[in-house]
Structure formats: structure tokens, C-alpha cells
């Protein structure tokens, strides 16, 4: 990739992802404009940029100040005559519960920098981006995709940034302007330190162990994605959200509950007793349906029950497993399909418990011994398919059962 003769504005350029991106852009030959509030840090980044390539233009900017935003655009065009790329990277977060007395004040501050400033700066730069057939890269977060405890304001701002980006990507595409997003997970920057966290090194060590890839990203890794989206290599990409999070989103996304839509009875809700409805609703919306406990298999069964269905020894698995099969049985009965539900806890010769076995008439006069919840839809191997298509895990199980019992 080469950004020779390209003019690029980078906000939040004084540290972290913004600084790493500015340095690499200079290395690629771009004319870079550094925008941030901290002049001392900006000066240090400018020195790094100058060592890598063309010296950048340094413009100390308070991004929530409209006059400063206008000055940023005007000075850039005055010096370079155009704007090719706008990288909206500046942002901050705060751990503030919604119950906090200052929650709305914090919300206004976070929305102001993370969303409103992006909207306003993009709007001011738009005429120049249209003339240059340029593009915008907005730095969002996985916080836009799933909630984080005590960070309602930040999550809301980033979700708004995502949707704003998609909206204007659609609107500006006919004018040749591309707009894309990068949604990083944990990245080793001063973001956490600026939130007031202590023992930052230990924090990143702990959070890294929670990631499926057992690591935390470095700013330069996010830079690589940003530069790709801003380059001609991505000339067919607009309105895209590029997640780079060491596997966080895929692993921690809640079960969508889409599989419940695969049930055959439109009147299902009228057939459920209170306990069955409680479990079904809890699974669907991802809320708590029990107490966290240590299973006899050694794993932890959490309050949302994500462990229960996949474990053959968990005491909580059997009553819930039976209840879920009973949902299927009631649906089948309502569709005039005769079936029976085996009692839970019976032992077979192989030592397994045939709890919730449903006997369903099968083709050629045979009977299919059908266990509707034999597959854990919370297992990593099934989550992605279940989110996209209702009943995908059950369909996979059905194929195996059909092959087994039709011999």
C-alpha cells in the first residue's frame, strides 16, 4: 500500500491507535494532519512521524469545539489543497453506572466526543472528500456490538457511531465517498489508564486471558486494518464494520434465541406452564435463569445456563433438558403429531440418561427416537450457525439421527 500524495487527517493522534496510524501513514508517504488536545504528546508523535516520513502538520484541536473543527478543516485545505482520508479515532470511555447521579452528564460528555464530534467533523470535511473521491474510517469498538457493565454511555455512543457510518456510507456511495468502521476489542493503549484504572499491566494480562486467542492487540495491528480500509485495495468496501478483537465478540456473543422460532406451533405460548415459559424466555433473551454453581464435571455453570446443556453430569441439566423437550412435545401435539415424552432420569445400558426422549412417527412406518435438545446451542461450534439461522443446531442433530435410525 502507498499513500503518497494523499492528505489524511487523524484525530486522537496523540497516543495509542491514532499515533500508530499517523506514524505508519507517514512511512507510506502521506501528508498527515495530527489533531488532538494534548500538545506535548502531539509533539512527541510528530517527531516519530518525521523520523518515518514527511513531517506532519500538527494542529492542536479540541474536537468538541466547533471553531476548532472548522480550523482543522480550513488549515488542512489551506496547506495541502484537499482532504483524501478522514480517520475519526478520538474517543474516551467511563465506568459510570446508569444509577449514578452524574450519569446524564457523563453521557453528554461521551456522546459529545465519541459521536457528535465525528458527525460534525465529517460534515465539515464532506465537500472536500466528495471532490477527492475520498473516504472516512471511523474507529468504533466491540462495545457497539454488545453491552459492557457500567459503560452504558460508551456502548451507546459507539453503537450510534456504527449506525451513523452505515447510514452515510449508503448516502455517499453514489458520490464516490466510502465510509467504513473498525471495531477493536481490547488494545494496549492509554484508554484504560485514562479511565482511572489502577494496575493497568495486570488489567491487560487478565483481560488477555479472557480472550479466545489469549492475548490483547497492539495499536499497530489496528493500524493495519485502518490503512487497508483507507487504501485503494478496499475500493469496493463501504459500510463495513471490521471487527479485530482476538475472538472476543464471537466467543461472548449471547445465544440469539433464533432456534425458538423453529418450533412448529404458532400457539406455543398458550401451551406452556409457568416454569417452562420461564426457562424458554430466559434462554431466548439471555437473562439469568439460575444460580452460578460448580458442576460435578469441574466446569462452572453460569447464571444464564450456558454450561448446562453441554454437560452430561450437571444436576441442573436434566430438569431443564426435560422442560425444553416438553416445549417441543407440546408444539408437536398442537400440530397433531402424536408423540410421547420419556421420564427423566431413566438409565440405559450404556449408562446415559434418556431424559426427554420424544417418540415421533417416522417415514416407512419406523419410529425416530428424537431428543430435541441433544445439541447444546451454546457450544462454540454451534453459536455462529444458530445466530444466523433458526434451528441450525437441531437440523445438524437431525441429520445425524436420521442417518442413524433409518438404517
Residue 204 designated active-site: no
Whether 123 and 86 have beta carbons less than 8 Å apart is answered as no
For residue 393, the SS3 value is helix
Q: Do the Cβ atoms of 59 and 72 come closer than 8 Å?
A: yes
Which of 74, 82, 86, 114 lies closest to 177, judged by CA? Answer: 86
Length of the chain: 407
Nearest-angstrom CA–CA distance, 43 and 192: 22
DSSP category for residue 359: E
**CA-CA-CA-CA dihedral for 19, 142, 157, 33, to nearest 10:** 20
* Residue 289: C-alpha distances to residues 282, 283, 298, 316 (Å): 6, 8, 20, 11
270 Cβ neighbours under 8 A, 6+ residues apart? none
Cα dihedral across residues 139, 143, 149, 151: positive or negative: positive
Distance CA 41, CA 19 (A): 9
CA distance from start to end of the chain: 57
Containing 397, the helix (H) or strand (E) segment is: helix 392-405
Please give the sequence-ordered ranges of beta strands (E in DSSP) within 110-251, or none if there are none: 135-139, 178-184, 241-244
Please work out, in degrees rounded to the nearest 5, the angle formed at the alpha carbon of residue 372 by the alpha carbons of 366 and 375: 120
Residue 18, classified by CB atoms within 10 Å of its CB into exposed (0-12), middle (13-18) or buried (19+), is buried
* Active-site annotation holder among 154, 204, 249, 405: 154
What are the cell numbers at 70? Answer: 472548522
Measure CA 219 to chain center.
18
What are the phi and psi torsion angles at 375 (to 5°)?
A: -105, 130
Residue numbers annotated as active site: 154
Amino acid at each position: 500500500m502507498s499513500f503518497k500524495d494523499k492528505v489524511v487527517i487523524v484525530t486522537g493522534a496523540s497516543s495509542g491507535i491514532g499515533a500508530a496510524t499517523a506514524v505508519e501513514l507517514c512511512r507510506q508517504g502521506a501528508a498527515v494532519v495530527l489533531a488532538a488536545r494534548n500538545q506535548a504528546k502531539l509533539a512527541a508523535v510528530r517527531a516519530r512521524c518525521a523520523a518515518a516520513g514527511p513531517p506532519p502538520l500538527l494542529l492542536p484541536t479540541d474536537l468538541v469545539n466547533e471553531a476548532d473543527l472548522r480550523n482543522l478543516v480550513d488549515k488542512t485545505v489551506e496547506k495541502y489543497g484537499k482532504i483524501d482520508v478522514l480517520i475519526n479515532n478520538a474517543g474516551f470511555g467511563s465506568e459510570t453506572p446508569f444509577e449514578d447521579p452524574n450519569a446524564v452528564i457523563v453521557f453528554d460528555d461521551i456522546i459529545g466526543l465519541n459521536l457528535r464530534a465525528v458527525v460534525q467533523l465529517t460534515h465539515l470535511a464532506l465537500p472536500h472528500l466528495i471532490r477527492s473521491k475520498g473516504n472516512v474510517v471511523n474507529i468504533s469498538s466491540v462495545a457497539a456490538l454488545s453491552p459492557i457493565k457500567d459503560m452504558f454511555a460508551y456502548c451507546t455512543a459507539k453503537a450510534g457511531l456504527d449506525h451513523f457510518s452505515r447510514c452515510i456510507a449508503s448516502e455517499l456511495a453514489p458520490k464516490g465517498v466510502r465510509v467504513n468502521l473498525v471495531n477493536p476489542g481490547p488494545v494496549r493503549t492509554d484508554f484504560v489508564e485514562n479511565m482511572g484504572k489502577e494496575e493497568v499491566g495486570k488489567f491487560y494480562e487478565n483481560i488477555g486471558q479472557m480472550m479466545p486467542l489469549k492475548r490483547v492487540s497492539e495499536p499497530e495491528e489496528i493500524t493495519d486494518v485502518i490503512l487497508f480500509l483507507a487504501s485503494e485495495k478496499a475500493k469496493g468496501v463501504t459500510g463495513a464494520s471490521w471487527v479485530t478483537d482476538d475472538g472476543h465478540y464471537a466467543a461472548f456473543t449471547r445465544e440469539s434465541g433464533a432456534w425458538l422460532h423453529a418450533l412448529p406451533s404458532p400457539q406455543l405460548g398458550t401451551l406452556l406452564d409457568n416454569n417452562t415459559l420461564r426457562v424458554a424466555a430466559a434462554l431466548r433473551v439471555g437473562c439469568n435463569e439460575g444460580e452460578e454453581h460448580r458442576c460435578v464435571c469441574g466446569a462452572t455453570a453460569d447464571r444464564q445456563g450456558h454450561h448446562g446443556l453441554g454437560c452430561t453430569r450437571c444436576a441442573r441439566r436434566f430438569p431443564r433438558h426435560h422442560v425444553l423437550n416438553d416445549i417441543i412435545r407440546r408444539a408437536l401435539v398442537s400440530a397433531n403429531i402424536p408423540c410421547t415424552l420419556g421420564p427423566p432420569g431413566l438409565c440405559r445400558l450404556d449408562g446415559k440418561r434418556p431424559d426427554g426422549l420424544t417418540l415421533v412417527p417416522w417415514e416407512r412406518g419406523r419410529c425416530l427416537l428424537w431428543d430435541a435438545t441433544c445439541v447444546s446451542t451454546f457450544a462454540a461450534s454451534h453459536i455462529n450457525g444458530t445466530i444466523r439461522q433458526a434451528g441450525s443446531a437441531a437440523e445438524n442433530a437431525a441429520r445425524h439421527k436420521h442417518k442413524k435410525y433409518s438404517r
